[in-house]
Amino acid sequence: MAAEVGGYADPPVEVLAEAAAAFGLLSSPARLHIVWALARGESDVTGLAKRVGGALPAVSQHLTKLKLAGLVRSRREGRRQVYYVDDPDVVAVVRMMVGQLTARAVETPALTRRRGFGV
């Protein structure tokens, strides 16, 4: 039986496991950058590699993992495979998290560096 706090029942263990797996995939800076870029618009692997500064094979492997997890989808356009994020909730979560951390970095750059979020 799920506990209920503040009007919200705890989600099933399977849902928590799936969420943890998705967050685990997004814990990689490279994969998070790819999802961030795709949240801004679709792209092929070559364009993504240029945008995120990664090697083509590495970006391709990241995309495969993100696709298997259902975070990214693709479609064929002629000989190109075009990737995109089809889930507006994933886009919202990524934009919110990156936006919040960016705002914090601007407000208190020294504190952000101490926490390990900046250069």
Against a cut of 0.85, is the pTM above it?
Answer: no
Q: How many CA atoms lie within 13 A of 57 on its CB side?
A: 0
| pLDDT value of position 84 | 96
pLDDT at position 4 over 70: no
Cα distance between residue 111 and residue 106, in whole Å: 10
Give the H or E element holding residue 62: helix 56-68
pLDDT at position 119 over 50: no
Q: Facing residues of 67 across strands?
A: none
Cα distance between residue 75 and residue 80, in whole Å: 8
pLDDT tens digits along 72-94 = 999 999 999 999 998 888 889 98
